[in-house]
Chain A
Amino acid sequence: MTEHLLKIHNLNKHFGGIVATDRINLAVEKGLIHAIIGPNGAGKTTLLAQLSGQIKPDSGEIEFDGQRITGYGMARRARAGLARSFQITSVVMPMTLLQNVMLAVQGGSGHSFRFWAPVSNDSAMKAAAMASLAEVGLDDRANRIAANVSHGEQRQLEVAMALAMKPRMLLLDEPMAGMGKEEGAMMVKILKRLKGDMTILLVEHDMDAVFSLADQLSVLVNGHIIATDTVENIRINDEVQRAYLGDGHA
């Protein structure tokens, strides 16, 4: 029996006259990588923002692991086990990579109203953070300042932070955005290692990456999901060809 970790029921969102999310229904199966593709402006980031709680939908419900989280704010959803990375790199730039990931460990481990003990002496937290850094191959750069590492490494840091929260599901917003070929390949390798252990909703432009990573694909066009299927079936789906792939190759 398949178990769905994230369920979206009839989600709607408009900005003025523009329909950004149009009656979206989606269920993400536990343990799979579910990718969302679609042309620019299809509403992928808007959808992800609603899932992470950054913006509120006009109507519809979001259910995560059996609880309705539609009314939850960003922080509460994160604590419920739904971690996200940002399309535009969003880390604490003046801190080191290690400090950034330690913050994520902290965020995933209960409240932080602890006023006295220095964080830097917390060896358990440090070890957990180093483990997450190692997962994305950044453990040798742990003490570099985030602002001083390459763009690709900052993207990897984003993923390390999401992982360090020990989430039950990852929302990844274009983790390959702005990456060179090698950096992109590195990211694909990192995500492949997570495959099977982690449920991931992946929004990504890089088709090669999506086809090599995803188990399930949903195609978003003009705010509406026109198809959800396995990678193989999406490839041969006529409607998708017309609406999306055809567009891009015309």
Chain B
Amino acid sequence: MTWFPQSISGRVYAAILLILAPAPFVFEWINQPFYLDLLSRALILAIAVVSLNLILGFGGMISLGHAAYIGIGAYAVGIPSYYDYYNGWLHLALALSVSASFALITGAISLRTKGVYFIMITMAFSQMAYFTFLSLEEYGADDGLVIYSRSEFPQWLTMDGGTSLYYWIFALLLLSLFFTHRLVHSRFGRVIVGSKFNEQRMQALGFNTYRYRLVCYVISAMICSLAGMLLGNFTGFISPDMIGWARSGELIFMVIIGGAGTFFGPLVGTIVYILLEEFLSLITVYWHLIFGIMLVALVLFGKGGIHGWLSRLDRKGAGHD
């Protein structure tokens, strides 16, 4: 049975996908619509985290401004809807094109810097986006904007209803995972990964690393905007709050918890983060404190995140490196 994953990590990920696939029907059956909401939100964020992992985990570009692209995607639904343009293809096209343009301009500047300066400059750009949305009185400013109806697609693609939207989210998540996988193993991906470890060598091999990184940054932003487009539809309400740099920080945490530079790590990291947040806050009002301690412990002791931990189990089982 070669189709069945041999490693522990592979089996865990396969199990997670098998649980996620029929989730809406299970939740309906046990009459717990709240969990569908929770899971939908987690998987939307997972798409954003997958996109961040592409530049952060595989490319070594630590962006503290990725939430801006969630915001762009969400406003690409909200603003047209405000003018009664509900066409989903329009929303999708806007999300992708505006995020690509914003990423191209800000990336072209940010990628001239390295290390902590890159972190700061990406954060600065996302704060620019944040304050821009905050100042848009027409679109609710800090009160936010209500989206009265979901993006309209042909009947077979409709987003109406929790289950339909869930499968939109699930499908886009699988697509972004698949796409990332193909990308990382392509010629382009090799250049991106090589540049993370030794940029000077890559240049000596003839690669204009700046250009490759910029393209990678734009691709990542576009995937992230899909998450924003889904989030706008999911919450039916958007506000600049979605974009603040603390949001971007959470995305980084989710990448690290799951395992940066792995394919399924971001998905698992996001689910764990969201579940922890949810259930800890049910137990105690001091949940932030416990949550914080857990995150510190995870970063300190969980080298390589959850994926790292699972693959260490694999190695132990196999008895070799």
Contact = CB atoms under 8 A, between A and B. Distances in A.
B207 A90 contact: no
Interface string B123-135: 0000000000000
A107 B197 CA distance: 16
B272 interface: no
A110 B204 CA distance: 14
A75 B207 contact: yes
Interface in B165-200: 182-183, 185-191, 193-194, 197-198, 200
A85 to B, nearest CB: 8
Contacts of B186: 114-119
Contacts of B194: 92, 95, 103
Contacts of B201: 86, 90-92, 161
Contact of A107 (B200, B206, B215): B206
Interface string B203-237: 11111110010010000000000000000000000
Given A92-B194, A92-B197, A78 B206 contact: yes
B92 interface: no
Contacts of A102: 190
B187 A106 contact: yes
Interface in A52-98: 52, 54, 73-76, 78-79, 83-84, 86, 90-95
B84 to A, nearest CB: 37
B202 interface: yes
Q: Is the interface of B mostly helix, strand, loop or mixed?
A: helix
Contacts of B205: 75, 78, 103-104, 106-108, 161, 165
Interface residues of B, number: 25
- Among B189, B200, B201, the one with the most A-chain Cβ atoms within 10 Å of its Cβ is B201
A113 B185 contact: no
A93 B194 CA distance: 9
A99 interface: yes
A112 B188 CA distance: 5
A49 to B, nearest CB: 11
Contacts of A117: 186-187
Contacts of A107: 202, 205-207
A2 interface: no
Contacts of A103: 190-191, 194, 202, 205
Contact of A113 (B182, B198, B209, B215): B215
Contacts of A115: 182-183, 186, 188-189
Given A108-B206, A115-B182, A165-B205, A90 B198 contact: yes
A120 interface: yes
A93 to B, nearest CB: 6
A10 B78 CA distance: 63
Interface string A109-146: 00011111111101000000000000000000000000
B187 A120 contact: no
A107 B187 CA distance: 10
Nearest to A53: B203
Contacts of A112: 187-188, 190-191, 207, 212
A107 B188 CA distance: 11
B207 A113 contact: no
A93 B207 CA distance: 18
Contact of B209 (A75, A83, A93): A75
A103 B192 CA distance: 11
Contacts of A75: 203-209
Contacts of A74: 200, 203-204
B198 A79 contact: no
Nearest to B182: A116
B39 to A, nearest CB: 30
A124 to B, nearest CB: 12
Contacts of A95: 193-194, 197
B204 A118 contact: no
16 contacts: A73-B203, A74-B203, A75-B203, A78-B205, A90-B200, A95-B194, A104-B205, A112-B190, A113-B188, A113-B215, A114-B187, A115-B188, A119-B186, A119-B189, A161-B201, A165-B206
Given A115-B183, A122-B187, 13 more contacts: A54-B200, A74-B203, A75-B208, A79-B206, A83-B204, A84-B204, A95-B193, A102-B190, A106-B205, A112-B191, A114-B187, A118-B186, A119-B187
